[in-house]
Amino acid sequence: MQKQITEANFRLLLDSLLFKGQRVVGPRRSGSTVLYEPLASASDLVIDELPRRSVKEAFFPVCEDLLEYRKEGQQVQLTDVTPERFPETVLIGVRPCDAAAVPVLDAVFSWDYKDQFFLERRARTTIIGLACTTADDACFCTAVGLSPHDPKGADLMLTPLVGGGFLVESQSDKGEAFLETWKDRFAERDGTQPQELATPATQPFDLKKIKAWLDKHFEDAAWDSIATRCVGCGACAFVCPACHCFDIVDEGSEKAGKRRKFWDACGFSKFTNHASGHNPRDLQPKRYRNRIMHKFKYYDDKFGQTLCTGCGRCIRICPVGIDIAGVLEEIEGK
Ligand code: SF4
Ligand code: SF4
């Protein structure tokens, strides 16, 4: 279904949602950065800046408690978190490179083990995407098969219209239900054209060619030159909408504490450290190789797509200037 809405009415709609007690999460200024955070009012919503971190944390928080334990005598008491009580959420202003990563995460978190913490949040969330009218030098969604108005992963898609307001297109049953619930806020299409959308500069990669090289070059001197500068800070994985590694740690004493789940990163030197002390990825190039292999070979082998949506965040954040698009260009040219 297609509708349209003025920006003023869209913000009024947001305020109505918040007034009803609906949890609404969207890009919001937090100090000097913009992050996906709960909004307190429609005026909090920032629609002209890509959040520093990705939308994955709406489903997969940086850190969360899984259970609490307490030992009394010989008895251990466990108190579970109840994911069934996670709140219904409307996630708004989600960029296509973020929304497209959500189905990628769905595949991982429901493949062998069903991660209830991820899946319950996912089931309770309606995703309202927002097409991009600007791109910076780091954006390369079009080089990995997406686009600045790709609706993948969104339940409703907003596209800015010439003269203001948004074209609104439902993409799923959740999107249809949202339009139906708030139908008095939306107008019929009047033929106003969408604004010109962003055009990232990077040319499309031949992802099949890149994968074919990766298939045959687990051992290759190129990894040393590609990754020699990487300092293993993990920032690229933390800002990435598609990276999803985590660790589970018991914090506290033998008498009481919490079991917690934290983001982890394959760039960290201890990521693959065995209890014996042996570390199969003992050097940084092996860790960076894993990042590229996972994104453009292993995930493709397992789920038939790449683990990168071209958001460019890892390029913007890397303290030593490693540019994943440049790495892909280098591999493609081999
Ligand atoms: S690998 Fe980099 S460009 Fe690709 S989705 Fe992750 S952060 Fe974005
Ligand atoms: S952000 Fe850069 S330096 Fe840090 S782990 Fe990633 S590639 Fe390495």
Q: How far is CA 312 from CA 85, 94, 156, 326, in A?
A: 34, 15, 24, 11
Residues at CB less than 6 angstroms from ligand 2: 230-236, 267, 317-320, 322
Helix (H) / strand (E) containing 91? strand 89-94
Instruction: State the average pLDDT over residues 162-179.
Output: 96
CA-proximal residue: ligand 1, atom 2 (nearest): 314
Q: Which atom of ligand 2 is nearest to the CA of 314?
A: 1
CA-proximal residue: ligand 1, atom 5 (nearest): 308
Name the pTM for this structure. 0.95
Return contacts of 276-284, CB within 8 angstroms, 24+ apart.
284/227, 284/228, 284/230, 284/231, 284/232
Q: Which ligand is nearest to the CA of 140?
A: 1
Measure 188 CA to ligand 1 centroid, in angstroms.
37
Instruction: State the average pLDDT over residues 169-188.
Output: 96
Give me the chain's average pLDDT, please. Answer: 95
**Residues 269-320 pLDDT 10s:** 999 999 999 999 999 999 999 999 999 999 999 999 999 999 999 999 999 9
CA-proximal residue: ligand 1, atom 4 (nearest): 308
Helix (H) / strand (E) containing 28? strand 23-30
Chain center to CA of 68: 28
**Residues 235-255 pLDDT 10s:** 999 999 999 999 999 999 989
Total length of the chain: 334
For strands 89-94 and 125-130, give the pairing: parallel
Q: Is residue 44 a contact partner of residue 233, using CB atoms and an 8 Å limit?
A: no
**Residues 75-130 pLDDT 10s:** 999 999 888 889 999 999 999 999 999 999 999 999 999 999 999 999 999 999 99
